Structure 1
């Protein structure tokens, strides 16, 4: 995928193996029970890239005044099944605190949709925690609709949290 410029202050490009340390740092810095169901990462930290999370699965956002990654999105087929190959799933999106409010998450979402479409997908899905109101609003503003709710699927910070399934068509 070539570099995509969807916002004047932000560009999105494919991840490279050389992004590993910066993306790992970004992932740890943005960890929150607002969006994470896994425990907070602790040293020694696992590699960001591994056999299930390869650079080709990620798009990286950069902002004009900072060479560090400002955010990332992970975009993958939801299953290895041929009958499901027309779908792509967002399995992670993070934006650095220093880049919030600059259109980074929106640029990453749009780039993910464009990449999925270019790969032949006609549908894109994601999961978001029910209490993550800002993310849900962003996804809805980009055409994602709620397609299912798993009530109380996770127990986080002393309360049960819904798992919201969202999706949208990639048809023109």
Structure 2
């Protein structure tokens, strides 16, 4: 998928490991990550729980500038109709170019192909730009876990958001 000037979206492959790991380090911020600030020696991007088939990659000019991780919300059969976004990152140098929206559109299509009728995510309370983006995409706040995370000395809310996949 690609627009004439927009990002191309594709499935990740194992060879994306180093580029996505570097992108993840550059994009890290306490505004959106519950993980500690990355420190050398840096780990890998793909793990046994974070497989290439979970990741959509956005490219501009042939280089990865963003990714989205989409997985089943739980392993339960009764919840198989729900997919969950568990990570969305865009290189600061590529922001404002439609990368996040293109990744979200690709995630909706992938989730529908997997039989999902609903998509959910979690976002940190102070991450206002992400919350505005998700709201503009039809996500609604469905719950808030107050003070769920202690990040760099401050308690931060975990905001649960979701939307149907009928639109």
Normalising TM by the smaller chain, what interval? over 0.9
| Superposition TM-score, scaled by structure 1 size | 0.93
Match for residue 150 of structure 2 among 155, 163, 172: 155
Matches of 1:119 and 1:130, distance apart in 2: 29
2:25 matched residue in structure 1? 28
Contact kept, 8 Å, 1:87 with 1:125, in 2: the verdict is yes
Query: Which string of whole-angstrom CA distances, capped at 9 and with x for unpartnered residues, describes residues 37-90 of structure 1?
Result: 110122222211111111000000012xx2220100000001111111110000
Matches of 2:4 and 2:50, distance apart in 1: 27
With 28-37 and 40-49 compared, the bigger mean Cα shift is at: 40-49
Matched, 1:39 2:51: no
2:12 matched residue in structure 1? 15
- How many pairs align? 167
Contact kept, 8 Å, 1:6 with 1:110, in 2: the verdict is no
After superposition, the Cα gap between the structure-2 partners of 1:127 and 1:6, relative to the gap in structure 1 and judged at 3 Å, is farther
Q: Report deviation, 1:129.
A: 0.3
Match for residue 51 of structure 1 among 48, 51, 63: 48
Contact kept, 8 Å, 1:7 with 1:103, in 2: the verdict is no
Unaligned runs of 5+ in 1: none
Contact kept, 8 Å, 1:30 with 1:95, in 2: the verdict is yes
- Runs of 4 or more, structure 1, over 3 Å off, are none
Unaligned runs of 5+ in 2: none
The two structures, once aligned, show a CA RMSD in angstroms of 1.2
| Superposition TM-score, scaled by structure 2 size | 0.96
Matched, 1:93 2:124: no
Matched, 1:115 2:115: no
Query: Which string of whole-angstrom CA distances, capped at 9 and with x for unpartnered residues, describes residues 4-30 of structure 1?
Result: 236742111000111010000000111
